[in-house]
Structure 1
Amino acid sequence: MSILIIGGDRLGNILDNLRRLGFKDIRHVSGRKKGYLELKVNQNVDVVLVLTDYVNHGLARKIKGTYRNGPCRTVFARRAWCHIKSEMDRVLCNGCCAEDCPGRAKGA
């Protein structure tokens, strides 16, 4: 799976954790500059992760309006891994809490 991360200057261990969830292609843009308001999400992206505490507010609104019901799944989360993980589980598993859900990551 592929993911585009918008926001956050440094991602730290988030990249390793996303790889453990099965993301092979990970792209990142900081999302702070006004120029990012023109950002177009590539059709080849499966998930857009928006780190809400490190992104331009106008860009967050645009992504929410444009991509929330678009071709890829959109996850809005704070930069803390525990929040990212819970939001990814909620969005990617459609809220299911079954332990045998194929979308649920094991051990992360």
Structure 2
Amino acid sequence: MSYVVIGADRLGNIIDMLEEKLDGKLIHVSGRKKKDQAYALPQMVKGVIVFTDFINHNLAKRVKADAKKRNVPIVFAKRSVRHLECTLEQMMNCTNVECDRACARKDSF
């Protein structure tokens, strides 16, 4: 199982934090190249992280729709370790079963 990280040309020290918090392979897609614009999520994906300040709007909409259709958790965050940590923690600690947001499905992330 893997996690897809979309956005940002380089992840820098964010990759270390993600590898520490998440259990799985990380797939990074910058979203800037022409071939990235047609990116489709792999079949066996555990979750999606989208960096909102470095992504094409059409790609973000397409990935969001694909994740929702396949019931894959997705989070949107700024490209900063602090903001990403907070976003991932909120998602993993969400206990509202009635909630329609991806973080409500913490058992699948």
Q: Identify the TM-score tier after normalising by the shorter chain.
A: 0.7 to 0.9
- Three-state SS of the structure 1 residue aligned to 2:28 is strand
- Structure 1 residues 22 and 62, CA, compared in 2 at 3 Å: closer, same or farther? closer
- Three-state SS of the structure 1 residue aligned to 2:90 is helix
The 1-side partners of 2:79 and 2:95 are apart by 21
Q: TM-score, normalised by structure 2?
A: 0.76
Tell me which moved more, 34-43 or 74-83: 34-43
Across the aligned residues of Structure 1 and Structure 2, the Cα RMSD in angstroms comes to: 2.0
Report sequence identity in percent: 36
Q: How does 1:30-41 map to 2 (within 5 A)?
A: 30-41=30-41
The 2-side partners of 1:77 and 1:22 are apart by 16
Q: TM-score, normalised by structure 1?
A: 0.76
Q: Tell me the residue number matched to 1:85.
A: 85
**1:93 deviation in Å?**
2.8
**1:44 deviation in Å?**
1.1
Could you list the runs of 4 or more consecutive aligned residues of structure 1 that deviate by over 4 angstroms after TM superposition? none
Q: Tell me the residue number matched to 1:64.
A: 64
Residues 61-90 of structure 1: CA deviation (Å, up to 9, x unaligned): 222223135232111111011111111122
